[in-house]
Amino acid sequence: MTKITALRSSESYSVGMRKFQPAAGFSTVLGIVLILAALVIGAGGAYWVYTWQHNKVRDLTGRTDSLSSQVTSLNKQVAGLTDQLNKACQSTQSPGSNCAVYTYTSPKGVTIRIFSPAKNATVASPIAIIGEVPGNWSSEAQFPVRLVGSGGAVVTSTTAHVLGNWQTSELVPFSAQLTFTAALPGTGQVVLAKDNPSGLPINDDSVTIPIKF
């Protein structure tokens, strides 16, 4: 009787244990879910990489187009500057002669090269000012130019534009044009002033080109 009871207890325990054992199908489903989750994560990562690369390519293409446009614009400006220089040389130099280059040194020792106007040249409106200045003589690629009469008064002023890198200390081309209507007697000066956004006198510098009216 005791053996039969023990046997029945053992069978009941085995049956109970089987009830708590996970089904083999559940493990298979769990594995499939994990695989699908890994595939989804992998696909999402691949899509992110593709999107990032696509955006980088589009950004580089935009930069290339912008750079190409800037180069084209610069070439046009250089062509215009060359044309101005040729006209200025024809008006101030002897026919067939090369345009002279005049070198000026500012009070602070900055060297500037001027192609036009020639030193002590007789000028009329408009006056083309063409030459080379250190890029950092300007601010945002610009610096002021003034026409001063024989009495020291400012007749007119304009802004010169630097072509190229305005943050370098190397010489870069610039051009400007001074226009005036009144007839001016005697002599005068074209003053190229270093752009000074600070307004502090200690940062001022300039070069003076003597001319005749």
Through-space distance between the first and last CA atoms of the chain, rounded to whole angstroms: 140
DSSP class of residue 176 equals E
In a domain, 8, yes or no: no
In a domain, 207, yes or no: yes
For 81-116, give the DSSP string: HHHHHHHHHHHHS-TTPPPP-EEEE-TT--EEEEEE
Count how many domains the chain has.
1
Distance of CA 4 to the CA centre of its chain: 97
In a domain, 194, yes or no: yes
Element spanning 26, H or E: helix 24-92
Kindly report which listed range (8-17, 82-91, 93-102, 108-117) carries the lowest average pLDDT score. 8-17
Mean pLDDT of 38-65: 74
- Residue 36 C-beta-side C-alpha neighbours within 13 Å: 6
Q: Is residue 142 within 8 Å of residue 159, measured between CB atoms?
A: yes
Query: Among the ranges 47-51, 61-65, 70-74, which has the highest mean pLDDT value?
Result: 47-51
Domain that holds residue 207: 100-212
Please tell me the predicted confidence (pLDDT) of residue 178.
94
Does the predicted TM-score (pTM) go above 0.75? no
Q: Is the pLDDT of residue 9 over 60?
A: no
In terms of C-beta density within 10 A (0-12 exposed, 13-18 middle, 19 or more buried), how is residue 145 classed? buried
In this structure, what CATH number is given to the domain that contains residue 140?
2.60.40.2550
In a domain, 3, yes or no: no
Query: Residue 136 has which token pair?
Result: 């950092």
Q: Which residue type sits at 7?
A: L
Distance of CA 57 to the CA centre of its chain: 20
Q: Is the pLDDT of residue 128 over 50?
A: yes
Mean pLDDT of 49-58: 76
In a domain, 155, yes or no: yes
Band (pLDDT 50/70/90 cuts) for residue 54 is: confident
Q: Is the pLDDT of residue 141 over 80?
A: yes
Mean pLDDT of the chain: 79
In a domain, 73, yes or no: no
- The rounded percent of the chain whose pLDDT value lies above 90 is 44
Reduced to 3 states (helix: H, G, I; strand: E, B; else coil), residue 123 is: coil
User: In terms of DSSP bridges, do strands 127-134 and 154-162 run parallel, antiparallel, or are they unpaired?
Assistant: unpaired
Band (pLDDT 50/70/90 cuts) for residue 95 is: very low
Query: Residue 156 has which token pair?
Result: 């007119």
Q: Is residue 166 within 8 Å of residue 135, measured between CB atoms?
A: yes
Reduced to 3 states (helix: H, G, I; strand: E, B; else coil), residue 9 is: helix
Q: Is the pLDDT of residue 87 over 90?
A: no
Query: Residue 142 has which token pair?
Result: 């610009």
Mean pLDDT of 100-127: 92
User: Which residue has better confidence, 116 or 93?
Assistant: 116
In a domain, 148, yes or no: yes
In a domain, 37, yes or no: no
